[in-house]
Structure formats: C-alpha cells, structure tokens
Structure 1
Amino acid sequence: MFNLKLSKMMEDVQWSFISLATASLSHLLLRIVLGKELGPSGLGLYTLVFTIYIFGMHFAAFGIGVALTKYLAEYDDDLPRVKGFVSSGLLGSIVSGSMMGVLMYLLSGIIAIQFFHSPEMVDLLKITAFCFPFIAMQKAVIGALNGLRKMKWYAVVNIAQSVSVMTVSIVLVLLLDLGVRGAVIGFVAPTILVGILSLIIIREYFSANSADMNAVLKEVFRFGFYIVIANSIGMINVQIDSLMVGHFMSEIDVGYYAVAIIFVEGLRLIPDSVQRITTPAIANYYGKQKYENIHELMKNSMLKVLAITIFISFTLIVLGQFLIEVLFKEEFLPAYYPLLILLVGYSVYAPILSISGALAGIGKVALMSKLSFICAVMNTILNILLIPKYGITGAAIATSISLIFTASLKLYFIKLYIPKPSAIIWTEGPEKDVLR
C-alpha cells in the first residue's frame, strides 16, 4: 500500500500543494474582502477570534490526526490494525472536540473581557465553540487520509473547507451585511458541515471491534497527548505575536499586523505541502531502517524549499508596498515594515518546516513538546518586552528571532536522532528527489 515510487510521490506533493494553495488563496481573498469592508478594526477583531479558534482547534483535535498519519503509514499493510486506528481516532476526536467546545463556551467571557478588553468578542467566541467537535473529526479524517496516502481525498476535504468558508463568509458580510459576526458564522457553519461529510470518505475503515478499539485508543491518546502539547505550544510560537498585539494594543494595530502575517504566510505554502509528504515517508523509511533514503529526502526537500522561499521573499520586498495598497487600502501601509522583518525569520524557518515532521515520524513526540515549550517561552518573553515599546514592529522582531531559534533547534535534534549512514549513495533512482 505504501509505494514510494517517484510518480506516486510527485502526485501526492501536487495534491498536497493544491489543497494548501487553495486554502492560502481563500484565506487571502477573504482577508482582502474583510479588510476593505470592515476596516483595520473589524479585521483586527476577526483576526483575534480566528486566532483563538486556531489555538483551541489544536486542543480539540488532540494531535489525533498526526497520530493517525504516523501509525497508518507505519502499519499500512495490516488492514485490521488500520481500521482499529481509524475508528479509535475518530471516537477520540469527538470526545476531545466536545470537551474543548464546552470549555471555550464557558471561558468566552474571561478570554474576551479580561485578556483582550473586548466585550463584543464574547458572543463571537461562543459561536466559535460549536464547531470544535466537528473540526476535531475533520482533522482526524485528514490525518488518516495522509497516512493512507489518499492525498486526492485529503485535498478534497481541505479544499471544501477553505472554499466554503470563504464563500459563506463573503456572502454573510457583503450581501447580508452581518459584519464581524457574519464572518465568524462564515467559518463555523461550513466547518460543521465539512466535518460531518468528511466521515463518508473513510467509512470503509470503520471497525466495531471494541476490544481492539480500547487498546488502540489508549495508544492514540498517549501519542496525541505529546502532539497536542507540542502543537499547541508551537501555536504560541506562531500566534503569540498577534495575541500580544491584541492584549497590549488596539484592534486597529491587530488589523495592520494581520496584513503583514497574511503575506508571510505565503512562505509556508510550499514547505507545508512538502511536509505532508515527508512526514509519512520518513516514518515509513525509519520503520524499515532506510536511513539513506531519509537523508536524501530531507536534503533535497530543504534545498528546493530554500530556493523557492528566497525568490518569494525578494518579490515581497520589492512589491510589498504596492501589493498592500492594491489588495487592501493605503491605510494598511503600516504593515510593510513588520512584513520586511518577518520575511527574515520565515525565510530561515521555511526549509526546516518542510522536514519538521521528522521527529514525530520517528516517535520523538516527547522531545517535540520540550522543544516547542522552550521556543514558546522565549517568543512570549520577547513579545512582552518588545511590543509595549516598539508596537507591531517589536512583535515582528520577536517572531523572527524565535523562528530562527526554533529552526536551528529542530534541525539539530533531527540530525541527532536520525542515524547518519556511513555513506549515502546518490543515484538516479525513483526515490532520489521528492520534489524533482
């Protein structure tokens, strides 16, 4: 089932890229519409709510999707075991997602008023809470499809989510004039629908063997525990700047900073696509002790991603101000200088991101949690120190420094724990280059 021929690998990368490109484009178009329609303040409020949703989603999913990707890739030739993991993962996702939804609903007032000083955010967070069980199921399905190498269906689910969110949100904001509330409903309602429909895709892997399910569920939750810690702390690394800007400054500043973030997120598109393929591939190679293949895969992936990242960064440096004025409005130009600073950090981080799933692929999830914690603490401290003095520029400086530190730390431990072959034989065989 797990065939690593070049044609299959390239096809998987293409589907992964298409899904992420669609998500990125939908995200960009939606933010452009919201920025022009709602202004910096409305975009800032929406960004804060959506950031909290993204953070809560990682707890709701509880790392189950990543666990399914690893185990299904590792046991790809054992159908009963695959069914056990899929069924257990889905059950676990419903439980963890429901718990997170209840928690978010109960804490919405504290989060909105005590931390962000924004009473209008309370109802928006309560609306958001309803979609957590469904996004958790969707993440479990996506993780299973990734592990099973069904990347076409993986792309279908992601594309359906992205396009439906963009479409419904624009209709509610532009045509029905529902403002920020319409934008929030615009991502909650499609998430619920897509989460339910995604179950149809993997229904053939459902199993009713409760004895096996209980044992596998424990294993999935054990693995997921470390993943959710690592991912959630990792989200702090990625989102703490926006959250701290929201805490220390106004929603208008959040809106400016959101525009800078939108552009640099384009740098994650290629490495994110590649990572979806390298993670299960590394898990498969590692289980078969094919360390030469792992090193070839990582080296070629990083080099290709680095070249593409440098090109995109240079383009944004030259055309950044023009693009901000054309896509948004002239009033969003304060986003340009934070954008330049963020490009430095993301350019260094992107190549490492393309192989950052390697530690999860070889089972070092506890280490991932520790590394994420160290990086998140440093990032948080830097944001607290720099934002009150330098505003959104300080947030960009803190984020870039943290991304560079994170990339260096991850690369060090990936090299440390993946055995280095005594001599790598470079051939023109089908597994030489995932991106060729």
Structure 2
Amino acid sequence: MQTSLFRRFISILGAKITTLLLGLFITPILVRLLGSSLYGDYAFILSILGITMILANAGIFDGARKYIAEDREDSNWVEHVFGFYLRVAAQLAALAAFLFILFSWFGLSDRFFNSNFSIYFYLLAALIISRQAYSVARGGLMGLGFEDQSEPLSILKKVLFGIFGLSFAYIGYDVAGILLGHILASLITSLLAFMILFRHLNTRYVFTRVPAKFPKKSLLSFNFFSIILIFMTSSLYHVDILLLRPITGSEATGYYRAALVVAEFLWFVPNAIQMFLLHSSSELWSKNKISEITNIVSKVTRYNLLLVLLFSVGLAALANDFVTVYFGPDFSPTVRPLLLLLPGTLGFALARPIFAVGQGKGELRILILATGAAAVMNLCLNLLLIPLYGISGAAVATSISYGSMVVFHVIAARKIGFDPVSDLRLSKIVFVALTSSIVIFGISSIISSSYLSLSIVPPIGFIVYIILTVKFGVLSSEEIDDFAQRLPNPIDEHFRRFVVVLQNH
C-alpha cells in the first residue's frame, strides 16, 4: 500500500515539478511580450476565470476523486459516480459560458472595463467549457489511481499552452492570443484524458441514469460545501488582484501579479501533497485507519515545513537578483511585495495538505469556518491597506491572511480527529533554518553579479541545509533509511555513507 501511495505521489510531484519548470520558461517570455500593463489585464482576467471556475466546477474535481477512490461494493459504483459528475459538470459549464457570452453581447464588458475585454469574455466562455472537460476527466483518472496517466497530460497541457499562447501573443494577438492558447491546450488534453479514461470504464453505465439507491444527496452535499470551501480558499489569492486593478491600475497590478507568481513557486510541493492526500486519505478514512492518518500527516507536515522553509530563505536572499533577471529590470517594484508575501506564503504552504485530509473525511463545515476566518480577514485587510499603501499594502494583507491559514487549520484538524503537528520538531527546524540563513545571505551579499549569485548560492545553500538537517536529527535514522531504499543503486549506498559520516562528526 505504501509503495503504491508513494508511486502515485511521485507521479503528481513529478508533473508539478515539470510544469513548474515549464512555467519558469514560459512566464518571462509572456511578460516581455505583454509588458506590465497588459500583463496586469491578463492577471485580472485569470482571477475572474479562477473565481468563475470555482462555481462552474462546483467541487466536482474533488468530489470525483474522493468518491471514485472509495470504490464501494455497489455494482458499477465508479461508472455511476463519474457519469453523475459528468452530467452536472456539463450543465454548469454551459450555464457559466452562456452568462459570459451575454455579458459581452450586451456591451457590459465595454462599459465596466474597455473594448478589448469584450473578446476576452467570449474567449473565457470557451475556456470555461474546455477546462471543465479536462477537470472532470483528470478527476476520474486520479480517483481510479491512474496518476501515472493523468499527470503527464498536465505536462502536455503546459507545453501546448506555451506553444500556442506564446505564438499567438508574438504575432500580435496579445491577451486574446494567450487565452486562445489556453483553450486549445485544454481541449486537446481533455480529449486525450477521456480516451484514456473510457478504456477503464464501462461507458454503458456512464451514460445511463444512476440507480434509485445512488446517494445523490451525499455527493451534492459534499459538493455544496466544497464550493464554499474552495471559493473561500481561492479568494485568498484572487481578492487582492481584483481590488488592485480598479484602485491602482493595470501596471501596478502587473508588478504585484509577478510577485505572486514568484511567491507561489513555494507551493509546487505542497500542492502535489494536497492533491494526493484528498483521495488517498479518503480511502484511509473509509477504513477508519485514524492512527495511520495522523502518522502520515504529521510526517508530511514536518517534511513540508523543512522543504518550503529552505525555498523561502533562498528566495528571500535572492529576491532582487531573481526578479531583475527573470522579469527584467523594469519589474524592480516587484521585489518589495515579494518579500512581504513570503512569510504568509510559507504558512499557506503548510496548511494546504492539512485541510486536504479533513476534506478527505468529508468534515467540511469546520474547514469552512477555518478558511472563512482567513478569507474575511483577507478581504478586510486588503480593503484597508491597498488604498493606503498600494501593492505593498496588498502584500501585507495577503501575507497575514495566508499565515493565519496554518493556525486555523491545525485547530480544525485536531477537532476533526488528527494532529498534523504531533511530530513537527519545530525548534530543530528553526535552528537549521536560522543557521543556514547566515550562510545563504552572507554568500549572496558578497556576490555582485546576479547571474553568478543565482548560480552559486542555491547549491551551496542546499548542501549546508541538508548537512544541518541530518546532523541535528530533523529526520530520524528510520526516515533516512526509508528514503535511501527508494534511491537507485549505487546512489543509495553513497547516500548512506554520507549520512553516517555526518552523524559521527
């Protein structure tokens, strides 16, 4: 079971890392093609899309993964669940797309924004449908445990977006061309996902009505509370953008969006863990393996903190170098909000896997209360600080709200029945991070070249951090041994020798 879970997680993590690297390549090209002002409009459109997709998807992606993974003894349970969600998804996507078309058709987009937004909203209608199709198919594959087949499609989707989106933007279609790139990438990958999925399902039962005993109310209840939960979670990283553009303008929004993009690099591992834990923990909850859940989540939280803290320290030390090289010197105003966002981004990174486990159990009411408290705080602080301090105010407001998530969700987890911080070893991790920071910031400060700093500091900082982690017992001998067993020969032998040397000196 553990090997299977590990392989499935590696499939998700591998896809996350690959899409992150592709994003690292695509984003600076996209920014340079659009400029800060159009990039701000693009960020605003993506925030509108993000909020809309929460309502259109209605928790279907999470619901499909959760209930398909339970694989109950009912005849053709998997097909009935998938078919039910497929029909609901199609209706909701069609409704959302129709409303966007009406919004542009009656000239409301021109009235509230500008003439370019009319075509943007027509394209958003098509993008909603294509994304919904991809989300449903991917959720089905992951629920069945086929992450090794679903996640390569995420990589393909990113590649296709890069090819189509950047090409259209380059020949002069700007934001509209990038949106068209998103549409084509989602359509192609969703078609491939459905082709793979239907090899594993009896399509006769997918496209027939579910039986009378099928628990529609349970599924819809989960989805209803999931909408609220996801809406509140997503509001944490959309409200600031939606408020910034009308208050500070497109250019400042572009700078702030760039800071968010960099800060959210910290989330690629926590996102993979969160995505995996929802349906894998659902299996464990259904078998009442509570002690195993606590053991897994407490270890995951420690590993997550250890890794994200390393990335946060490195990014803080190299913020100015990275921003000026990655986005260009014109984006130097991005550095300050980025630094202000980092502490909260770290807290949100820790919270993500924790509330995925509660979601896997189906205890959504308490998760909604925890997330809702952070969301209300975020809205109030952004309304207060953006008019006074612009993008720095937005960064402070968002960072405080992000950070509150880990506090609220640890409390929620304990009420649900598991303790995600029972084996955190916080004092050791903080000591390792502070000691490593001295080395990382010290080396960064004496290197004047941005390119040289970005080349030298990360590997040295990583080596120092790993040495201190092993030396001061942040990871136990059993955990190190378990990790070494998963490495290919002869790497595992060299790794074991390296650990022994560190522990004995």
TM-score by length of 1: 0.90
Structure 2 counterpart of 1:403, one-letter code? Y
Unaligned segments of structure 2, at least 5 residues: 424-475, 487-505
Q: What residue in structure 1 maps to residue 245 of structure 2?
A: 246
Equivalent pairs, count: 424
Residue pairs, 1:213-228, within 5 angstroms = 215-228=214-227
Separation in structure 1 between the aligned mates of residue 299 and residue 78 of structure 2, nearest angstrom: 30
Tell whether 2:54 aligns with 1:58.
yes
Q: What residue in structure 1 maps to residue 180 of structure 2?
A: 185
Choose which of 2, 22, 38 in structure 1 pairs with 2:34: 38
**DSSP-derived class of the 1:123 partner:** helix
Separation in structure 1 between the aligned mates of residue 123 and residue 140 of structure 2, nearest angstrom: 28
Q: What residue in structure 1 maps to residue 86 of structure 2?
A: 90
Q: What residue in structure 2 maps to residue 380 of structure 1?
A: 379
Q: What residue in structure 2 maps to residue 103 of structure 1?
A: 99
Residue pairs, 1:6-405, within 5 angstroms = 7-75=3-71, 80-108=76-104, 110=108, 113-114=111-112, 117-174=113-170, 176-203=171-198, 204-205=200-201, 206=203, 207=205, 208-212=207-211, 215-405=214-404
Q: Which protein has the larger Cα radius of gyration, Structure 1 or Structure 2?
A: 2
- CA apart distance, 1:11: 1.4
Separation in structure 1 between the aligned mates of residue 211 and residue 218 of structure 2, nearest angstrom: 11
- Is the Cα contact below 8 Å between 1:90 and 1:140 reproduced in 2? yes
- Is the Cα contact below 8 Å between 2:164 and 2:181 reproduced in 1? yes
Q: What residue in structure 1 maps to residue 432 of structure 2?
A: none
Separation in structure 1 between the aligned mates of residue 94 and residue 42 of structure 2, nearest angstrom: 23
- Is the Cα contact below 8 Å between 1:88 and 1:214 reproduced in 2? no
Q: Percent identical across equivalent pairs? A: 23
- CA apart distance, 1:76: 6.0
Separation in structure 2 between the aligned mates of residue 41 and residue 255 of structure 1, nearest angstrom: 6
- CA apart distance, 1:305: 0.8
Separation in structure 1 between the aligned mates of residue 126 and residue 16 of structure 2, nearest angstrom: 25
The Cα offsets for residues 46-66 of structure 1, whole Å up to 9 and x where unpaired, read as 111122112212222111110
Q: How big is the alpha-carbon RMSD for the aligned residues of Structure 1 and Structure 2?
A: 2.5
Instruction: Tell me which moved more, 336-345 or 352-361.
Output: 352-361
Separation in structure 1 between the aligned mates of residue 419 and residue 409 of structure 2, nearest angstrom: 16
Instruction: Rate the CA distance shift 1:187–1:295 in 2: closer, same or farther, 3 A.
Output: same
Separation in structure 1 between the aligned mates of residue 413 and residue 14 of structure 2, nearest angstrom: 28
Unaligned segments of structure 1, at least 5 residues: none
Instruction: Rate the CA distance shift 1:71–1:260 in 2: closer, same or farther, 3 A.
Output: same
- Is the Cα contact below 8 Å between 2:5 and 2:280 reproduced in 1? no
The Cα offsets for residues 259-296 of structure 1, whole Å up to 9 and x where unpaired, read as 11111111110111112222222211111111111111
Separation in structure 2 between the aligned mates of residue 336 and residue 388 of structure 1, nearest angstrom: 20
Q: What residue in structure 1 maps to residue 437 of structure 2?
A: none
Structure 2 counterpart of 1:164, one-letter code? L
Instruction: Rate the CA distance shift 1:132–1:17 in 2: closer, same or farther, 3 A.
Output: same
Instruction: Rate the CA distance shift 1:278–1:211 in 2: closer, same or farther, 3 A.
Output: closer
- Is the Cα contact below 8 Å between 2:410 and 2:419 reproduced in 1? no
Structure 2 counterpart of 1:386, one-letter code? L
- CA apart distance, 1:427: 12
Instruction: Rate the CA distance shift 1:161–1:247 in 2: closer, same or farther, 3 A.
Output: same
The Cα offsets for residues 170-204 of structure 1, whole Å up to 9 and x where unpaired, read as 11112x22222211211122222322332112113
- CA apart distance, 1:79: 6.1
**DSSP-derived class of the 1:131 partner:** helix
- CA apart distance, 1:24: 2.5
Separation in structure 2 between the aligned mates of residue 222 and residue 72 of structure 1, nearest angstrom: 16
- Is the Cα contact below 8 Å between 1:61 and 1:93 reproduced in 2? yes
- CA apart distance, 1:78: 5.5
Instruction: Rate the CA distance shift 1:427–1:96 in 2: closer, same or farther, 3 A.
Output: farther
Instruction: Rate the CA distance shift 1:317–1:216 in 2: closer, same or farther, 3 A.
Output: same
Separation in structure 1 between the aligned mates of residue 311 and residue 418 of structure 2, nearest angstrom: 33
Q: What residue in structure 1 maps to residue 498 of structure 2?
A: none
Instruction: Rate the CA distance shift 1:286–1:339 in 2: closer, same or farther, 3 A.
Output: same
Separation in structure 1 between the aligned mates of residue 74 and residue 22 of structure 2, nearest angstrom: 38
